[in-house]
Amino acid sequence: MTLPDARRIMASGAESYADEVLAASAISSSADSTLDDLLSCLRRGGLPAELAALELYVRTGRSRVGTGPASLITDVQDWTTYLAGMGLTARSA
């Protein structure tokens, strides 16, 4: 899946859950994806949000508390606040 296709799926909200997971995977693995792209995945919840959160941790160097899925912060507002504190902004935050 291309990054433009993945962005379209995340923006449309009308795709299947499987398509959203594939799109989130494409976005999270692309060096060309933006913070906005990752935040759009967080808004989907579930596995798309977890994939995006993992990439956000990598990109920002933010430490996780604990291990496993419970240690992932997938809340959009939490990430928006964290990114702003780092001097990073996202258009749709």
29-46 average pLDDT score: 96
Q: 86 — phi, psi (to 5°)?
A: -90, 0
The domains of the chain are located at: 3-85
Do 26 and 40 meet the contact criterion of CB atoms below 8 Å apart? no
CB 90 within 8 A of CB 34: yes
> What is the rounded average pLDDT for all residues in the chain?
91
For residue 93, what pLDDT is reported?
39
pTM for this one? 0.89
- Between CA 18 and CA 72 the distance in angstroms is 21
Q: What is the pLDDT of residue 61?
A: 94
- Residue 89's pLDDT is 73
